[in-house]
Amino acid sequence: MRKNKAVMIGAGLANMAAAVYLIQEGHWNGDQITFYSLDDHGSNDGAPTDSVTDEYWNKNHPMENRKGYVARGGRMLNYRTYVDLMDLLDRVPSATEPNMTVAEDTHDFDAKHRTFDKARLLEGGKGIVNGSHLGLNNSDRLHLTKLIMMPDSEEEKLDNVTIAQYFSDDPHFFGTNFWFMWETTFAFRVQSSAQELRRYMHQMIYEFTQIEHLVGVNRTRYNQYESIMLPLVNYLRAQGCHIVLDRLVTDWEFKDTTMQDEITVTGLEMQNTVTGDTEHVTIDDDTAVIFTNGSITDSATLGDLDTPAPEDMDYGAAASLWKKASEHFYDLGNPDKFFADRAASEWTSFTLTTKDHLLLNEITRITTQVPGNALNSFISTSPITALGHKDINMSIVVHHQPHFTSQKPNETVIWGYFLYPRRRGEFVDKPYIKMTGKEMAQELIGQLSKVDPGPGNIRDHEAAIMDSIINNIPVHMPYASALFNNRAKTDRPKVIPQHSTNLAFTGEFAEQPYQMIFTEQSAVRSGEIAAYHFAGIPMANLVKTPRYDKDLKTLAKAAKKMFK
């Protein structure tokens, strides 16, 4: 149903994409679009810690501890599959590179800093593991082939089936190099959705041939906020869009109609998180409401060098609003599948800032590669899983430096994460979630020392490395992997629900045919669909999605790779 104005609940990538398409394809004026959001970046953040606006963090951390940088997560791009994202980024100018669009900026940087990871897997006592040997047996290959060849029409067979259940008669799979690399590249877990794994296998099938080096990964020049979100914010503000921050939308008003399944939003209740005041926004007949109905960084908390990140038990701001809508109408999904099972969704990250390049140089020596190409996973040397297999302890990403425009030449910023934060450290005897930033750095050095035997071990430099640390910010994210949680297709609402007159859902918790979540691609696509719907643009005009799972050459290469 065509509209003339839009209210955006949330100012993440999906809704900003919707706004760009409404302006450029729907020919709307920017001042017809209003955002209400807690922030202007969603999960694509990155900033100096002295600019963090988290009220709890600023209240409980002294100013002297607010040093260095923090990014709750990191984003890898892929030109071959992220076609909607690249279309969007080619529509807005870069915030850092004159006379370039963001897409041109990214292509330019990536062409000069190609990803080729020589040390995708590291194992204690072995050093660099040859990841080109996937380690699959015939049972593994059979299960993967069935998943890859399953047609879209049969996908519902995997409703409410976990990856562990799908491979229940093939536990060997979870001890293969392939699983270790797939698990840490995309943040899957054994209890994640097999349906979602199938979508990744279909859309990323060509990664079989290059996953050990990540040559298909493309990266932005700087962190995701400065290279992706800031250009969008700048563009939308210049177009006259209203971006109202520090607003938490808390409840809906829906039209009271004799048609029980008609979904028409007539008003929103929200709170000004700075003043505490309650505000009301009336939604008229000409206005669309575009809602990002879940966030993987909701309820995230920060620590510092001397303090662990506290655990916030809140259900999540966006998910709470989604739940209220789903209680009104029967076809808007089931947020509990994603936000009521923290054991399946939580992980903890850290952003480490140093005042010199000693740690960076040691990682370069151990991995034999230059910064900007490394995404390294560290494997335990002893079985620690219920399946009896060794598993990943931690992963780090060493970005090209500088990773922030304000970063000094002598500073290094490294990001890492623990996919299973309740596991105990090997070098610091406590769960990762309970560690301070200092203890996480000590655990990192210990893990590196396992793959660095002999004289000149990184342990010889531990005191100097610890002295070089400006800050290390732990971040606990209870819903970081919630989008992978086990579910059925109907547990996520469609972007445009069947009986909706003015409400659309965007982001990683909206159901889209074929699209795989946890990507900038699916976020942009959902915003594009919402924009086209409310601007009256035919869906046939959407960016065309490539289907590599239908390409015989790609399938043949993947099949051959399975036997290595």
Report the candidate in 475, 476, 469, 398 with the shortest Cα–Cα distance to residue 67.
Answer: 469
In the structure encoding, which two tokens stand for residue 36, read together?
């209400």
d(CA 444, CA 428): 10
User: Is the CB of residue 392 less than 8 Å from the CB of residue 419?
Assistant: yes
In the structure encoding, which two tokens stand for residue 329, read together?
């109408």
d(CA 71, CA 46): 4
User: Is the CB of residue 293 less than 8 Å from the CB of residue 509?
Assistant: yes
* Helix (H/G/I), strand (E/B), else coil: 418: strand
d(CA 291, CA 506): 6
**Does the annotation count 200 as an active-site position?**
yes
Q: Which helix (H) or strand (E) holds 269?
A: strand 265-272
User: For the chain, how many helices (H) and strands (E)?
Assistant: 18, 18
DSSP 3-state percent helix, strand, coil across the chain (nearest 5): 35, 20, 45
d(CA 363, CA 371): 9
In angstroms and rounded to an integer, the radius of gyration of the C-alpha atoms of the chain is 23
In the structure encoding, which two tokens stand for residue 69, read together?
């940088």
d(CA 292, CA 9): 6
What is the per-residue DSSP string for 458-525?
A: GGGGHHHHHHHEEEEEEEEETTTTGGGBS--GGGS-BSS-TTBSSEEEESTTSB-SS--SSSHHHHHH
Say which residues have a Cβ less than 8 Å from residue 276's Cβ, sequence separation at least 6.
Answer: none
Side-chain-side CA neighbours of 207 within 13 Å: the count stands at: 23
Single out the catalytic residue among 36, 82, 200, 222: 200
Q: Enumerate the active-site residues.
A: 200
